[in-house]
Amino acid sequence: MNFVTLEFATFFLFVLVAGWLLREREGEYRAFLLVCNLFFYALAGMVFVPLLLAVAVLNWGAVHLMSRFSGQPRKRKGVIALDVALHVALLAFFKYYEFLILGLESLASAAGLDTGILRHALPSMEILFPVGLSFYTFQGLSYAIDHYRCPDEPPRAFLDVLLFVSFFPTIMAGPIMRARQFLPQLGHRTWDSRDLQEGFALILSGLFKKVVIASYLSEHIVRDVFESPEFYSSWTILAAVYAYSIQIFCDFSGYSDMAIGVGRLMGFRLPENFRSPYLALNIQDFWRRWHITLSLWLRDYLYIPLGGSRRGNRYLNLIITMALGGLWHGSNIRFLVWGVMHGVGLAVVHAFHELKKRFWPDGFTPSPALHWCGVGAAWLLTFHFVSFLWVFFRAEDMERSLEILRRVFVFGQPGEGFPLLVIPAVLIGLALQLFGARLFAAFVDAQERLPWAVQAVVLALVGGFILKMGPDGVMPFIYFQF
């Protein structure tokens, strides 16, 4: 169910009213919320619900087994290893089955073997990918791994674990929560006037980003250029690259804003997922600002267990972590290239910092002019590095990705132009990085000074205006495919 639909608005209004009526009856509220979560997910496909239940059962069971094996580290390690292996197998089957078949066929063909035997043994299947699987498997795994690391924490009831894994505002595309962030809130939901105002403001913020900016850029330049770059000039292709950078930010951060806002109105505080990522001055800074909950998940559950920065292979660990982060998005080689290149970028940043410490151990204080020149150059380099890598994320295949990048630099190539309104749309997306937080705070402060009835009218008018500015039909959020 898309957040930008009348159906979701009706569903959410029902959840809000019932949640308010059940605010003093936590047991009944949990049962009600679970039904709402499962109903919401079932609308994406009833066939996927058993998979969601299986993830909850696996992690709940793993934690209970580890609790029983308290003081037996080898058995605890065996349980968590099995739990991780089962989740990896689950993701591999649904996301990478065909990719693995093609890889094995290529190896067999290179070795001169008959690929027909392989195809007979491992038949091709049209596998329908379960919506949100990548997100709720990571979320469930974090619960089990955290318990493995902190064995003194008592196991939670199955109902609580299922509520955590299936929480409807985040199940489709995050933010990826940790159990210690969410579970304590189940019995201590809180509201005040500021929570309500910020919740509604976050929903409007996400609505504006998705409906007005992301949808416009997708419809008026990104979709056509990425599908048929051969018809467009190099300047138009470059504009489309910039436009997609803004589109994916507004689309994904717009979803996160709405999810966090929905959670806030329900009495839950969800983790921040974006922090003006296009203000980053290097790739390390970018990943502290972009998809923050995934970045932290990869750091805590993959990079650090690989050895992190404590061992000599830090750079390899960074590249492996980001490569797997790329494959988390899908089985296409494009995502692997995207992840590896970000890993290389992170390794270069770390190496640069090491060199700076070696040659300037006491630090370096440039003149103001040199400082701001450096800041500008760092921003331009980071923004373009990220933007050009988004091409691999958006294009249909590697061949199309490389063709788009090649054509960007073939200056003077004739072709179609682009609507001039694309320029202000991109600039607004960039301006949100600088002024978005201040505008948000100013709007909430202004709302807080108004009577409730006037606040409701303002929210309705702003929401209606945003929807009026957007297209008739809003496409699903980009990250729903992951």
Marked catalytic residue, from 147, 220, 329, 342: 329
Q: How far apart are CA 27 and CA 41, in angstroms?
A: 22
Measured in whole angstroms, the distance separating CA 132 from the mean position of its chain's CA atoms is: 11
Token pair listed for 421: 């309104």
Cβ count near 282 (within 10 Å):
20
- Paired with 416 in beta bridges are 232
Which residue is listed with tokens 């008739």? Answer: 472
> Nearest CA to 305 among 149, 150, 155?
149
The answer to whether residues 229 and 295 touch, using CB atoms and an 8 Å cutoff, is no
Catalytic, 350? Answer: no
The answer to whether residues 201 and 443 touch, using CB atoms and an 8 Å cutoff, is yes
The DSSP line for 159-173 is HHHHHHHH-TTTTTT
Token pair listed for 339: 């992840």
The b/e string for 399-436 (b: 16+ C-beta within 10 A; e otherwise) is ebbebbbebbeeeeeebeebeeebeebbebbbebbeeb
Amino acid at residue number 3: F
The answer to whether residues 59 and 158 touch, using CB atoms and an 8 Å cutoff, is no
Q: How far apart are CA 338 and CA 325, in angstroms?
A: 9
Cβ count near 310 (within 10 Å):
9
- Residue 370 Cα distances to 328, 364, 366, 367, 373, angstroms: 40, 11, 6, 5, 5
> Nearest CA to 13 among 35, 36, 29, 30?
36
Token pair listed for 136: 């709720």
Q: How far apart are CA 244 and CA 395, in angstroms?
A: 11
Cβ count near 27 (within 10 Å):
10
H helix intervals, 395-421: 398-408
Q: Cite the active site residues.
A: 329
